Amino acid sequence: MNNFSFYNPTKIIFGKDSIDKIGVELSCAKYERVLLLAGKGSIKKNGVYNQVTKSLQANGVSFVEMWGVQPNPTLEKVRETIIFARENKVDAILAVGGGSVIDSAKAISVGFYLEDIWQFMQRKEVAKQALPLYTVLTMSATGSEMNSGFVLTNTETKQKWGSGSNLLFPKVSIIDPAAQFSLPWEQTVNGGLDAIAHILEYYFVDSQAIITRAVNKALMKTVIAMLDRLQTNPKDYSARANLAWSATMALNGISGIGMNGGDWACHTIEHALSAIHPQISHGAGLGVIFPAWIEYMALKDPERFADWFEAWGETNTITGLIAMRNKIRDWGSPVSLRDLCIHKDDLPTIVDKIMEFPVIGGMSKFKREDIEAILLLAY
């Protein structure tokens, strides 16, 4: 097992009616004014906004609101909100939404004290402080509610980059699985695929990290089984709860124990893909890319991947690949770049964009021909 450090101070409050507790958490910390950050309005439809604001008001928490964070959240919106946050002299942020809202909140939280947030993303500026961050999660997928990383898209330069800081662990994250009852099926699947992709990024790095691989297999099997249950009954509380916690665990550090930071080639490829084609949701993009990555890697080294396919009900590469893609198709999710409406002519531009990243992959550093091969397998 590789050496590792683990540190994760986020407090999780999980379960039915847990959203009501956000007011007490914020009022105990005695903030002057909190920025409530949200997306495009789904939290008004599903009642979460009402639960949150009722709890804030009942506990005398003063807040201002900023709406409109979109999937694949943008640098532009973050910059706009940093100005808004400074003008309103907020001293904490409450993100109410999914990974995009929480990621934006992290960028705002650290950007609040910086010259320019994109400079920070480019490692040209260093963060020394950040606004304290609280979250109410409404879609389980990215794990952002319990880690210190975030991803942002610069629409001008068409760059989707990741960054992070130990300053950015949320102080408190509230996860009420029942708040996800009304999620469209597509978003539920995208979340599950994102979680599976996080597990994958760590899965193959070190076969000596036996306990991590066993935990990760347990996480993956649970995600698969819970997606199957939710496809039949989206209001299955137990399935929502187990999917939610599995997705959090897939990227809170536990899944990466002894795995040397992980591989991350699939995420790099997907980030380039959705930077150029922002209509592609992150989870759906990953659901196309990671089977192609596995196909490319497993054909070279089948033994290493047998254990992975076991979680999909098979043990050999050929039947495993078919079973995995069939399952994703059964969930109604794209399984090829064609399904994502990418033309073959677009591939070179995507390869160019991917090659802009200084490093692609952790286990083996991919070259242009590796990327081309994977995209062809994904096509």
Nearer to a copy of itself, 20 or 186 (CB): 20
How many Å apart are CA 247 and CA 147, to the nearest integer? 12
One of 53, 100, 104, 242 touching a copy of itself (CB under 8 A): 242
The residues near 177 (Cβ < 8 Å, ≥ 6 apart) are 14, 15, 16, 140, 237, 240, 241, 243, 244
256-295 binders of a copy of itself (CB under 8 A): 257-258
CB 61 within 8 A of CB 27: yes
Q: How far is the CB of 234 from a copy of itself (least distance, A)?
A: 17
Q: How far is the CB of 135 from a copy of itself (least distance, A)?
A: 14
One of 142, 222, 281, 333 touching a copy of itself (CB under 8 A): 222
Q: How far is the CB of 346 from a copy of itself (least distance, A)?
A: 38
One of 24, 29, 254, 363 touching a copy of itself (CB under 8 A): 254
For 342-355, letters b (16+ CB in 10 Å) and e give: beeebbeebbebbe
Tell whether residue 363 is a contact of a copy of itself (CB under 8 A): no
Tell whether residue 219 is a contact of a copy of itself (CB under 8 A): yes
Which helix H or strand E contains 133, and what residues bound it?
Answer: strand 133-137
- Among 61, 43, 7, 35, smallest CA distance to 137 is for 43
The packing angle between helices 265-276 and 347-355, to 10°, is 120
Q: How far is the CB of 235 from a copy of itself (least distance, A)?
A: 15
Nearer to a copy of itself, 75 or 219 (CB): 219
Q: How many residues does the chain have?
A: 379
Nearer to a copy of itself, 18 or 144 (CB): 18
152-211 binders of a copy of itself (CB under 8 A): 177, 208-211
One of 120, 245, 296, 305 touching a copy of itself (CB under 8 A): 245
Tokens for 347? 């591939």
CB 244 within 8 A of CB 140: yes
CA-based angle 147:192:4, to the nearest 5?
Answer: 35
Rg (CA), the chain: 20
Mask for 309-338, x = binds a copy of itself (CB under 8 A): ------------------------------
Tokens for 291? 């089977």
How many Å apart are CA 56 and CA 185, to the nearest integer? 30
Which helix H or strand E contains 58, and what residues bound it?
Answer: helix 48-58
How many Å apart are CA 70 and CA 38, to the nearest integer? 9
Nearer to a copy of itself, 103 or 176 (CB): 176
One of 24, 64, 167, 225 touching a copy of itself (CB under 8 A): 225
Q: Report residue 132 CA to chain centroid gap.
A: 20
Tell whether residue 12 is a contact of a copy of itself (CB under 8 A): yes
End-to-end CA distance of the chain: 36
Q: How far is the CB of 60 from a copy of itself (least distance, A)?
A: 23
Tell whether residue 233 is a contact of a copy of itself (CB under 8 A): no
Nearer to a copy of itself, 216 or 268 (CB): 216
Q: How far is the CB of 201 from a copy of itself (least distance, A)?
A: 19
Nearer to a copy of itself, 12 or 284 (CB): 12
**Size of residue set near a copy of itself by CB under 8 A:** 42
DSSP letter assigned to residue 21: G
The residues near 366 (Cβ < 8 Å, ≥ 6 apart) are 265, 360, 374
Tell whether residue 132 is a contact of a copy of itself (CB under 8 A): no
Nearer to a copy of itself, 158 or 221 (CB): 221
Q: Report residue 239 CA to chain centroid gap.
A: 19
Nearer to a copy of itself, 54 or 229 (CB): 229
One of 241, 298, 342, 371 touching a copy of itself (CB under 8 A): 241
One of 102, 226, 266, 378 touching a copy of itself (CB under 8 A): 226
DSSP letter assigned to residue 252: S
Residues of this chain that bind a copy of itself (CB under 8 A): 1-18, 177, 208-212, 214-215, 217-219, 221-222, 225-226, 238, 241-242, 245-246, 249, 254, 257-258
